[in-house]
């Protein structure tokens, strides 16, 4: 994978740094073109590598939503932290049905590695984000220090951030945070549909491997987790997010408020207006660990 060549698609100066869009042939995604955005703060130079925060976007999104609407770049610039914005799924895999629904298939990769044969060739967002992107970025000699990584995300991307953080045996990420995350996917319609669609073992396989509430209930290591959600979020009200389940599981195994903090915000909804309101909080949270 590491011999993939990055092509610069576009570049925008922002907050003295640079937001660059790249594409490359992704082995993890079955040879399809993959796009990502990388924000490099001005202090990142040929001689100075900077820590990196990975942002995983939600259903229907691409590598652009967080960069354009998240209000992350200014704070990342002032903190000297890069932000990596991957896409949310392979594009153009050609699996029959992958474009039928907005909450499954294209734009909805759920940050897992599919095991059903029809999806297993292309739908490997877990490998794409945890292994492939660091490899291709390092191979391109971009000034990122992948020994200092943290991860955050929104909704499906919040699920991704929590599960990639908690499941990593190599402790790849120093901290995880999430806006309005899907916290217990084996118990909500979005998650059940994704697990049944992508995994041969269905919801049971998903629950074992990709359910943040299940993972935290088995976790024994120190963790650094921040979750924010709004009480005006319709998906929260519909039971798609279930942050209370995650919080209860964390407290039941002894994590305190310093290790797992779950905040409820009156009347905020599921939109990027909510995200941008707490964007600075999240980046400062991760800066504590990335710059330690």
Using the minimum distance from each CB to its own copies, give the nearer residue, 234 or 288. Answer: 234
Which residues belong to the active site? 155, 233, 270
Q: How far is the CB of 279 from its own copies (least distance, A)?
A: 9
Q: How far is the CB of 65 from its own copies (least distance, A)?
A: 10
Q: How far is the CB of 18 from its own copies (least distance, A)?
A: 9
Decide if residue 281 touches its own copies (CB under 8 A): no
Contact code string over 236-275 relative to its own copies, x by CB under 8 A: -------------------------------xxx-xxxx-
Residue with tokens 């995650």: 246
Among residues 4, 19, 29, 56, the one that binds its own copies under rule CB under 8 A: 19
Among residues 5, 16, 234, 291, the one that binds its own copies under rule CB under 8 A: 16
* Interaction residues for its own copies, span 203-232 (CB under 8 A): 230, 232
* Interaction residues for its own copies, span 41-80 (CB under 8 A): 68-69, 71, 73-74
Decide if residue 22 touches its own copies (CB under 8 A): no
Site size for its own copies, by CB under 8 A?
23
Binding site for its own copies (CB under 8 A): 12-16, 19, 68-69, 71, 73-74, 230, 232, 267-269, 271-274, 276-277, 280
């Amino acid at each position: 994978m590491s011999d993939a060549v990055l092509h610069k698609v576009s570049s925008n100066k922002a907050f003295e740094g640079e937001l660059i869009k790249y594409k490359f042939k992704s082995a993890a995604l079955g040879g399809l073109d993959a796009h990502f955005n990388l924000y490099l703060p001005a202090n990142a130079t040929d001689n100075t590598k900077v820590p990196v925060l990975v942002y995983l976007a939600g259903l229907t999104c691409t590598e652009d939503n967080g960069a354009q609407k998240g209000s992350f770049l200014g704070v990342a610039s002032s903190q000297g932290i890069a932000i990596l914005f991957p896409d949310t799924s392979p594009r153009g895999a050609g699996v029959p049905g992958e474009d039928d629904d907005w909450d499954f298939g294209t734009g909805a990769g759920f940050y897992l590695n599919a095991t059903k044969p029809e999806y297993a060739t292309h739908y490997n967002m877990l490998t794409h984000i945890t292994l492939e992107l660091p490899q291709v970025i390092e191979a391109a000699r971009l000034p990122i220090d992948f020994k200092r990584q943290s991860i955050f995300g929104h909704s499906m991307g919040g699920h991704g951030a929590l599960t990639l953080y908690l499941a990593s045996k190599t402790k790849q990420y120093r901290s995880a945070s999430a806006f309005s995350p899907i916290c217990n996917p084996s118990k909500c319609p979005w998650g059940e549909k994704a697990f049944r669609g992508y995994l041969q073992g269905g919801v049971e396989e998903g629950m074992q491997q990709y359910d943040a509430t299940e993972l935290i209930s088995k976790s024994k290591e120190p963790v650094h987790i921040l979750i924010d959600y709004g009480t005006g979020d319709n998906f929260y009200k519909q039971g798609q997010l279930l942050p209370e389940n995650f919080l209860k599981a964390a407290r039941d195994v002894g994590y305190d408020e310093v290790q797992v903090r779950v905040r409820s915000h009156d009347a905020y909804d599921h939109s990027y207006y909510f995200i941008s309101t707490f964007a600075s909080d999240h980046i400062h949270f991760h800066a504590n660990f990335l710059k330690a």
